[in-house]
Amino acid sequence: MSAKKHAFLLFTKAPKPGVTKTRLTTEKGGIFTPEEAADFYRASLLDVAELSFQALAQLNQIAQANPNGGDPDRYDFVVSCSPEADQKILTNMFNENGPWLQPILYINDHGKTFDEHFDDAFQQLFADGYHSVVSIGGDLPTMPINHIVQAFQWLEYFTSYSPKGGFVQAPCQECGVSLVGYTANTPMDSTGVFYNLDGVPALDAYINKAAERGVPVASLMPVADVDNPRDLAHTISLLKANAYSIHSQPGIFLAHRTLDWINRTGVVITTPPNAEHDPRESIDA
């Protein structure tokens, strides 16, 4: 059996002020300056890269232990960005914060909308001979390592019986998706998913496509991305919980760069008092 190559796709922009995480800036109702928002994203992006490399290390180790009578499958780390000129920013950033567990490959995505850019990145990799692609963004510092491992494993399982391969997703907190993956022979695309004019959420759009085309789907547990201050508050609480749990929960990943950056900025999460409590007097009586 011939070996297959698989691509983990980190779909991202370069962390530049005024370009990345603008909804976290005061101009858009957030709390950061454009420079702070870009610094936050840079820390998150590096943490996402680290957790993704750990996932690929597990997958490559499993593949080498089970070569199926031939060369083992290979799992590569690919960064896709646009415009092409920003690739140098990302390359320098990763080089300065290495070494990493394996080489980083780079491609540039093209198109008029997010949908077209996302599809272009997948199609470039499939044209280059990759059997499956799993993609996440750089604003997911709480992504579980096992999500990436399981995503590739589900696609391999679907390949074992489905002529259409398969599709895997993890929702985000807003009816969207935080992880997307499918195989080269899967009749799937992102047209109308993110650049949607009909009010259909991204997750629903993908599932509708899969149902219409008879594509098997695996759904992982939701993972929150960070687009606005509410998302940020949720993520900070999760990171602080992980920072404590790591001492008693083996295998948990702590996005230490992101948490360190948050701690340096002095951001504190609070919630308003809850006056709408659930009365229990009648139950106790």
pLDDT in tens, 221-247: 999 999 999 999 999 999 999 999 999
Edge to edge, what strands does the sheet with 217-219 contain?
104-108, 74-81, 5-11, 130-136, 177-183, 167-171, 217-219
Span 192-216, mean pLDDT? 95
Say if residues 133 and 155 touch (Cβ distance below 8 Å): no
Place of tokens 């089970």: 66
Does residue 67 have a pLDDT over 90?
Answer: no
**b/e 34-63 (16+ beta carbons within 10 angstroms → b):** bebbbbbbbbbbbbbbbbbbebbeebbeeb
Cis ω before 103 (30° cut-off from 0) = no
Say if residues 72 and 123 touch (Cβ distance below 8 Å): no
Does residue 68 have a pLDDT over 80?
Answer: no
Span 79-98, mean pLDDT? 97
Q: What pLDDT does residue 251 have?
A: 86
How far apart CA 29 and CA 51 sit, in angstroms, is 30
How far apart CA 166 and CA 158 sit, in angstroms, is 5
Q: What pLDDT does residue 1 have?
A: 61
Q: What pLDDT does residue 275 have?
A: 76
- Per-residue pLDDT reduced to its tens digit, 144-193: 999 999 999 999 999 999 999 999 999 999 899 999 999 999 999 999 99
**pLDDT band of 2, cuts 50, 70, 90:** confident
Q: What's the pTM value of the predicted model, to 2 decimals?
A: 0.94
How far apart CA 141 and CA 46 sit, in angstroms, is 9
How far apart CA 88 and CA 256 sit, in angstroms, is 25
**pLDDT band of 284, cuts 50, 70, 90:** low
Span 200-211, mean pLDDT? 97
Average pLDDT, whole number, for the chain? 94
Gyration radius of the chain over CA positions? 20
Q: What pLDDT does residue 212 have?
A: 98
Tell whether the torsion through CA atoms of 87, 93, 98 and 100 is positive or negative: negative
**pLDDT band of 261, cuts 50, 70, 90:** very high
Say if residues 240 and 256 touch (Cβ distance below 8 Å): no
**pLDDT band of 70, cuts 50, 70, 90:** confident
Span 262-269, mean pLDDT? 93
> What are the sequence ranges of the domains in the chain?
5-226
> Who's near 190: CB < 8 A, 6+ residues apart?
114, 115, 118, 119, 180, 206
How far apart CA 14 and CA 19 sit, in angstroms, is 8
CATH of domain 5-226: 3.90.550.10
The neighbouring-strand residues paired with 179 are 136, 170
Span 103-131, mean pLDDT? 98
Does residue 285 have a pLDDT over 60?
Answer: no
How far apart CA 38 and CA 17 sit, in angstroms, is 5
Say if residues 146 and 160 touch (Cβ distance below 8 Å): no
CA atoms within 13 A on the CB side of 248: 3
Q: What pLDDT does residue 226 have?
A: 96
The two tokens of residue 212 are: 């219409």
Tell how far CA 267 is from the center of its chain: 24
Does residue 268 have a pLDDT over 60?
Answer: yes
Q: What pLDDT does residue 69 have?
A: 66
Does residue 17 have a pLDDT over 90?
Answer: yes
